[in-house]
Structure 1
């Protein structure tokens, strides 16, 4: 049975235990597996994890500080120094050292997901490959090649995107209550590319932008790199859906934000979806404080169509709508799109041209075929039904092991409360073979907490829940008083 215990240090080796432990952490830091700002386990936790005395851990951390790799922050703990990495010593990898490190930021989380076995990755951000439908894609490509395709396959394509796809998308958006035309749509290389175009064309360094907190770590990183001031908006209290409207209103009044970037349906990581009343209040605040809204609907195909979209209520006046197909087709097909006003669309299209001329007309036409034939709609319905079954199974597992949800899970994700700092649990769980996504990764200010994102498709193994329970109990330590 897996446990949360890391590979042991060698007690009969020529090197002292403190030096072995220091070398283990130093190697991770120099190989960029532990990134600047990452917090190391507390002395007590590290001693428990490695089966050594606290004195040994203190000695190891002293060596790392002397080497310039670590810094102690008063009453906060030990952190990897935010400085240029020092040249690595020519040492062999210590016996028993671990090649993988728990994710500490957005980049590390993505890297971990690329390397992960989906069956052992409760923190995965996508559906596992065996939930997807490769025959749907193969059929579309075959039809495109045999009867539709030569002009599409040998041309750059329309800078605005394949017209057939944009036409099919108007039907999809109409089903969501978003009434538009192909002329108001721009295709992109995935939803992330669409968001990047918006940041580059609609925002400037120094602008203040409201963002969901918890929210998408990659978006925090992109906005920060662009010099944007982040205004984190927490979720509503008591598990209510959507943002805390009182905080949103106060931030808007104080900082005059340029925009609000939000996931309104099947929010990542909480699984929340806006109700109609909350959506109306968000739009009223946008009008009152003159900011625009970027509505990221990347998980929309996994949600019922009747859920309200901000873009439908607003008529694309203040809302820029963004979505894509990677979550339900395949991450390898980078096909996304946005819908907005013609005035905004012109500069967005020009920037797309400068980026890479155009997006793939072949992939876009193939997606159009999937939409036209209704096969994508049927595939999405099967995914929703399968996720509903998985959520029921995982709810029972979570209850059986004594855990609670911060809000009722929905869609692909659940926001699980385990009662202890999940960032401290991430490494022991990874040592046992489970890649998780601690809540601090989804905080704009990296606040530690007891929440973690759970993927409903990849967390169904009872062994994970047993291991999580063990790691939580170990983290709390032995009881010292009466029960």
Structure 2
């Protein structure tokens, strides 16, 4: 590899500088076709930048058709580089940044996922999923080769109807649609309820993959600040009185990602009045529902699925990979969603849905939840004490669930912190990823399940 030197005074971030230099070297023949690139770790150490920055540059070059990634081996210069890509819409840059962020989370690497949105697999293995999957596969009626039904596996929807009833959400099994996880649920709703150019409300901070889906669909996002007891309804009402007419409001009532905060009863009632008065629908993503009590404030409990669409699933408590989620909605909307689902994905996997059904009915799931809640609560206490000792400022005085949203005592940019953390072996999503406009942020999301001696040592140095 030819000598590479980054300019510390350049306004471009290291990954963009590196990408341009390597692109030039490949196109000028300084890097031979078929040659292996330096490892991410080695090049990061050589240049004094984060491994994330090197990975970002390599992935960008792979997208240009200049590098060929080989799983477990590294990156290689393509023998026959594909022609340069046509210019892409500007908004895709943000989407691709988020996709790269997610890839760093889900693909194998040596980073401890301290900012992950999921629990460690060791916390979930008590359910013995392998046994349930084998049991379902051995049944004569297991649907391994054929399509499932449009709404999803009927016995599982019956169980979900009963679970929702315990939360005070009154609906029939015919008002429940099974999906391939919460992201699939969000995509269905965007396609079904919105048209390009429509305005939708989102929380700030909020779920970064939702922002990317909305960008790709051409939605106009209006941010509503998140407070410790829910959305800032004074700010929302001011927008509505000023003439804003949103189609949907995407939010999380309980155990909000990334702040961990939950909606108060008073705000729940007021928000529903605003939705009625200004004719918009609330999409309540309750993916962390099983970490909260059945009595916790849920908008669908108060509304009866008139102005509220309810989403949830099992990626956080059973498996991130099995991808089973569900939507509960008013019957007319639900039927439209089912038709859109048929066009997008035909059906979801009935085999996997049967496995989830077995876990819920024969897998000691409630006992599993009791143990998870206890471990998460203990993690909250331990992590809060650690962060307080280190001088970090937390968003909410007390939260439940797996997240703590906090900022460095000196207000340091969380993107720089995330890069420093990656160099030290820890994965964090910077606060800017949780902002609809990707504005710089001092806030960082911690997952309370990853309180290790190594993390404690690193926190004491920054």
**Structure 1 length-normalised TM:** 0.78
Query: Cα 1:456–1:114, aligned 2, differ >3 Å: closer, same or farther?
Result: same
Q: Would you say the 8 A contact 1:197–1:348 is kept in 2?
A: yes
CA distance in 1, matches of 2:415, 2:443: 9
CA distance in 2, matches of 1:357, 1:134: 33
Q: After alignment, is 134-143 or 255-264 more displaced?
A: 134-143
Q: Would you say the 8 A contact 2:126–2:368 is kept in 1?
A: no
**Partner residue, 2:52:** 101
Say if 2:322 is the partner of 1:328: no
Aligned residues: 401
Q: Would you say the 8 A contact 1:398–1:465 is kept in 2?
A: no
Q: After alignment, is 218-227 or 130-139 more displaced?
A: 130-139
**Partner residue, 1:354:** 343
**Partner residue, 1:445:** 437
Say if 2:344 is the partner of 1:344: no
Query: Cα 1:87–1:315, aligned 2, differ >3 Å: closer, same or farther?
Result: farther
Q: Would you say the 8 A contact 1:233–1:244 is kept in 2?
A: yes
Say if 2:105 is the partner of 1:113: yes
Write out per-residue CA displacement over residues 415-444 of structure 1, whole angstroms, 9 at most, x where no aligned residue: 012121111221122111111122111001
Q: Would you say the 8 A contact 2:153–2:354 is kept in 1?
A: yes
How do residues 26-175 of structure 1 correspond to structure 2 at under 5 angstroms? Answer: 57-58=8-9, 61=10, 80=16, 89=26, 90-91=30-31, 93=38, 96-98=42-44, 100-101=51-52, 105-115=97-107, 120-133=112-125, 135-146=127-138, 148-175=139-166
Q: Would you say the 8 A contact 1:401–1:465 is kept in 2?
A: no
State which of 424, 436, 445 in structure 2 corresponds to 1:432.
Answer: 424
Say if 2:206 is the partner of 1:215: yes
SS at match of 2:318: coil
Say if 2:225 is the partner of 1:234: yes
**Partner residue, 2:407:** 417
Deviation of 1:374 (Å): 6.3
Q: Would you say the 8 A contact 1:21–1:57 is kept in 2?
A: no
Q: Would you say the 8 A contact 2:272–2:303 is kept in 1?
A: yes
Query: Cα 1:130–1:385, aligned 2, differ >3 Å: closer, same or farther?
Result: same
CA distance in 2, matches of 1:139, 1:273: 36
Identify unmatched segments of 5+ residues in structure 1.
1-13, 23-55, 62-69, 72-76, 472-483
Say if 2:382 is the partner of 1:393: yes
State which of 278, 285, 297 in structure 2 corresponds to 1:296.
Answer: 285
CA distance in 1, matches of 2:140, 2:259: 42
SS at match of 1:250: helix
SS at match of 2:5: helix
**Structure 2 length-normalised TM:** 0.81
Say if 2:233 is the partner of 1:245: yes
State which of 265, 275, 279 in structure 2 corresponds to 1:276.
Answer: 265
Deviation of 1:369 (Å): 1.9
SS at match of 2:230: coil
SS at match of 2:52: coil
Say if 2:4 is the partner of 1:20: yes
Q: Would you say the 8 A contact 1:133–1:379 is kept in 2?
A: no
Query: Cα 1:440–1:149, aligned 2, differ >3 Å: closer, same or farther?
Result: farther
Q: Would you say the 8 A contact 2:111–2:425 is kept in 1?
A: no
Q: Would you say the 8 A contact 1:209–1:231 is kept in 2?
A: yes
Q: Would you say the 8 A contact 1:122–1:434 is kept in 2?
A: yes
Deviation of 1:149 (Å): 4.3
CA distance in 2, matches of 1:318, 1:274: 17
CA distance in 2, matches of 1:257, 1:423: 31
Q: Would you say the 8 A contact 1:437–1:454 is kept in 2?
A: no
Write out per-residue CA displacement over residues 237-283 of structure 1, whole angstroms, 9 at most, x where no aligned residue: xxx31011111112223311111000111000000111111111111
State which of 444, 448, 455 in structure 2 corresponds to 1:456.
Answer: 448
SS at match of 2:378: helix
CA distance in 1, matches of 2:282, 2:373: 27
Write out per-residue CA displacement over residues 318-337 of structure 1, whole angstroms, 9 at most, x where no aligned residue: 11111111111111101111
Q: Would you say the 8 A contact 1:292–1:319 is kept in 2?
A: yes
